[in-house]
Amino acid sequence: MTSATLAWVLERLAKGERVALASVVEAKGSVPGKPGARLAMSNIGGRHGTVGGAGLELKVENHLKKMLENGSSTSRIENYILHRDAKGKEATALDSLCGGQVSVSLEVLDPVPHILISGGGHCGQAIASVCDNLGWSHSVFDIRSEFADSGLYPNAIEKHHGDVTEFLDSLRVKKIIRFSDVLLLGHDWTVDQEMLIGLLLERRGHDRPRIGAIGSRSKWKAFRQAAIDAGVSEKAVDSVRCPIGIDIGAETPEEIAISVCAEIMSLEKGII
């Protein structure tokens, strides 16, 4: 059960979900869950495993749900005493007569950033290199097959090329939230605009993936109006970052890649 639960956690993280994980680390007396028992819950509602059932399980579930709802990333050890008369002690008392005590590790696991590089040119290649150095995942899309192949992107999780509409249709099969960020770096502004509008409509009010576009403020003004004219809400449009990257005076593709990934790191850590 333990290995199956851990495998489930890794699968959820790969799909871009946040997972709260409870692990029994110590048990004394008569208790339903033994050390090594695990219960995991996803922020979209799935769950796997058990820490022993009964009142302990319900209390742990509630703690995990609150951690996911609050966006907490702080881990802690929670002590549970399985006796109704244990109130007032430095532990959570349960309505039970077992008399045992369980220590449970509670933590929230965040997925590693998985960036979709839309536009496989020089900036995209430089961003892929930074992702590799940071241990982040990346995928690539380009309407040109030669800019989305294994030669330029040997470590890409996914490589897509072809029509934008067909690619957007494929995103409905494998959930779009598997990407933490989509970066619009196309060589043709019409491709970026079509991708932007399609992504915003597909995202349907969710905050993932984050979307960023390379370009000038005048370019963004035109993109913004086009998206609003297509039926995208102003709130959704204004969640897009353009121009992307922290202002460090970046000029070369490599410098731009550093500024873009630094911005994503800041967003991940809640700094900006």
Q: In degrees to the nearest 10, what's the CA dihedral of 260, 264, 269, 271?
A: 60
Give the pLDDT band (50/70/90) at residue 55.
confident
Whether the CB-CB separation of 63 and 78 falls below 8 Å is answered with yes
Whether the pLDDT of residue 88 is over 50: the answer is: no
Chain segment 102-123, per-residue pLDDT in tens: 889 999 999 999 999 999 999 9
Whether the pLDDT of residue 224 is over 70: the answer is: yes
Task: Give me the pLDDT at residue 2, please.
Answer: 77
Chain segment 228-247, per-residue pLDDT in tens: 999 999 999 999 999 999 99
CA dihedral for 60, 64, 70, 74, sign (positive or negative): positive
Please enumerate in sequence order all residues whose Cβ is within 8 A of that of 199, keeping only pairs 6 or more positions apart, or say none: 168, 176, 182, 209, 211
Please enumerate in sequence order all residues whose Cβ is within 8 A of that of 95, keeping only pairs 6 or more positions apart, or say none: 55, 84
Chain segment 125-141, per-residue pLDDT in tens: 999 999 999 999 999 99
Please enumerate in sequence order all residues whose Cβ is within 8 A of that of 165, keeping only pairs 6 or more positions apart, or say none: 194, 198
Mean pLDDT of 44-66: 87
Task: Give me the pLDDT at residue 83, please.
Answer: 59
Chain segment 137-167, per-residue pLDDT in tens: 999 999 999 999 999 999 999 999 999 999 9
Chain segment 178-194, per-residue pLDDT in tens: 899 999 999 999 999 99
% of the chain surpassing 70 pLDDT: 90
Mean pLDDT of 21-36: 83
- Average pLDDT over the chain reads 88
Give the pLDDT band (50/70/90) at residue 86.
very low
Q: How many CB atoms lie within 10 A of CB 3?
A: 8
List the domains of the chain with CATH numbers.
Answer: 2-109 (no CATH), 114-268 (3.40.50.720)
Task: Give me the pLDDT at residue 68, please.
Answer: 93
